Copies of this chain bind each other. A is one copy, B any other.
Amino acid sequence: MKQNEHTVVIVDDHLLLSGSLEKLINSFDGFSVLYHASNGKELQQKLKTHKSQPDIILLDINMPVMDGFETAAWLTDNHPEIKVLALSMEDDEKVILKMLQKGAKGYLLKDIHPDRLKIALQEVMDRGYYHSEKVAATLLHSIQPSYNKEEVKFKQNELTFLQLACSEMTYKEIADVMSLSPKTIDGYRQELFNRLHIKNRVGLVIYALKNDLIKI
């Protein structure tokens, strides 16, 4: 490593990406890759054993073992001096916001042009943050007031019921696992049916799927 060079660590379980990314970054003037890790746990260990710390960590979100959210949170707590740049395919507003709340200094989408990566690394070192255009737009959107997009929020119990109702359990069984009376469960059901304008449990499942409330 040359002097005055900024160092990067890549945390991604897609070896093909991280491997070729390393070549790319090493070709950038002023940046070099220290090492890789394929998940958060591995990163924790390597941070301990390697003497020199990276300036920037390029962090993927979807990883086995210890995902990007957990890892970012841990890094913010334990290594606040290291700048975390999230690198992900998802431009889902909720994911982006969550990642930034965990302390990421920037969020890059994997569909950016390679040249952009250099700009991103430079900006993070210079100004302390960087975001893809799409991400910036998403962020802007997230702070806009939402006029007609009727806000559908769920209380914790309601959400739990809704998710359980998307399984093969009967309402009686749901009442049991939630330690509530079947009548209360029936109350949740009626309330949700009315609010979401649905006719039966099938409608509930469809709604939950369309709104990412459950995973199949």
Q: Which residues of A contact B (CB under 8 A)?
A: 13-17, 19-21, 23-24, 27, 38, 87, 89, 108, 110-117, 165-168, 170, 198-203, 205-206, 209-210, 216
- Pairwise interchain contact B23-A19, C-beta atoms closer than 8 A: no
Residues of B within 8 A of A89 (CB): 14
- Pairwise interchain contact A19-B15, C-beta atoms closer than 8 A: no
Shortest 8 CB-CB contacts between residues of A and residues of B:
A19-B114, A20-B20, A20-B24, A168-B199, A14-B110, A168-B203, A23-B23, A15-B113
* Interchain CB contact (< 8 A) of A114 among B16, B27, B117, B167: B16
* A13, closest chain B residue (CB): B111
Taken together as a complex, chains A and B put the C-alpha atoms of A200 and B14 apart, in Å, by: 40
In the complex, the count of this chain's copies comes to 2
User: Can you give 9 contacting A-B residue pairs, CB < 8 Å?
Assistant: A15-B112, A15-B113, A16-B108, A16-B110, A16-B117, A19-B114, A20-B20, A166-B202, A168-B200
Taken together as a complex, chains A and B put the C-alpha atoms of A87 and B209 apart, in Å, by: 28
* A204, closest chain B residue (CB): B202
* A206, closest chain B residue (CB): B216
Taken together as a complex, chains A and B put the C-alpha atoms of A17 and B14 apart, in Å, by: 10
Taken together as a complex, chains A and B put the C-alpha atoms of A200 and B201 apart, in Å, by: 10
* A201, closest chain B residue (CB): B202
Chain B nearest CB: distance from A202 CB in Å? Answer: 6
Residues of B within 8 A of A206 (CB): 166-168, 205, 216
Chain B nearest CB: distance from A148 CB in Å? Answer: 21
- Pairwise interchain contact A16-B111, C-beta atoms closer than 8 A: yes
Taken together as a complex, chains A and B put the C-alpha atoms of A108 and B19 apart, in Å, by: 15
* Interchain CB contact (< 8 A) of A168 among B20, B108, B114, B202: B202
Chain B nearest CB: distance from A81 CB in Å? Answer: 26
